[in-house]
């Protein structure tokens, strides 16, 4: 377990890639559940989402699984799905709770225009969002062997598609 956490940490620091993750359906499910648990804990401590947040988080997992399964099939590398999806969830299990927590801090302390916390909190949120894109792009670059700009574009398209589908299917205030 500790070795797996270290591996996800190295992926988060962009020092390892999905090729180092064991190809295991069980590990994918456990890592996706760890991602759900990490996001749920972050939302419980510093609420960011209103409404049925668990449905939104479950939708995010389902969408991510479908996205990477379809992507790997389209680029004719379906054998890389398990490792890629597991690496994405492992990386996001580390970064997403931090982003959610910073969003919760913004809701609590940074919404007042006169607050001295507004700029640092938004800066932290932006840095974590950029890290989320960079890390996910790093995983994709290793899995697809494509250029960094192409992988960044795919990750941004994934995030936008996920958000748009959630807004249209799950009318949850963000």
Q: Would you kindly state where each structural domain of the chain is located, as residue ranges? A: 2-169
DSSP 30-78: HHHHHHHHHHHHHHHHS----S-HHHHHHHHHHHHHHHHHHHHHHTT-G
Q: How far apart are CA 78 and CA 108, in angstroms?
A: 43
Residue 174 clears pLDDT 60, i.e. is over it: no
Residue 172 confidence (pLDDT): 54
Q: Is the pTM of this model over 0.85?
A: yes
Determine the pLDDT at residue 22.
95
| Residue 36 predicted with pLDDT over 80 | yes
pLDDT at res. 97: 85
pLDDT tens-digit profile of 50-105? 778 888 899 999 999 999 999 999 999 999 999 999 999 999 999 988 888 888 88
Which tens digit of pLDDT belongs to each residue from 135-157?
999 999 999 999 999 999 999 99
Q: 139, 88 in Cβ contact below 8 A?
A: yes
């Amino acid at each position: 377990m500790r070795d797996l956490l270290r591996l996800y940490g190295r992926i988060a620091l962009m020092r390892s890639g999905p090729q180092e993750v064991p190809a295991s359906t069980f590990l994918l499910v456990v890592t996706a559940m760890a991602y759900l648990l990490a996001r749920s804990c972050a939302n419980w401590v510093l609420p960011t989402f209103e409404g049925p947040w668990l449905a939104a988080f479950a939708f995010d997992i389902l969408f991510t699984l479908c996205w990477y399964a379809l992507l790997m099939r389209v680029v004719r590398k379906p054998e890389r799905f398990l490792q890629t999806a597991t690496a994405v969830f492992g990386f996001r299990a580390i970064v997403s709770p931090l982003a959610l927590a910073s969003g919760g801090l913004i809701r609590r302390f940074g919404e007042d225009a006169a607050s001295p916390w507004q700029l640092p909190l938004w800066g932290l949120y932006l840095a974590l969002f950029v890290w989320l894109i960079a890390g996910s792009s790093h995983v994709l670059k290793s899995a697809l062997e494509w250029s960094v700009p192409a992988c960044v574009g795919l990750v941004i398209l994934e995030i936008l598609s996920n958000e748009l589908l959630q807004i249209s299917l799950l009318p949850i205030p963000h």
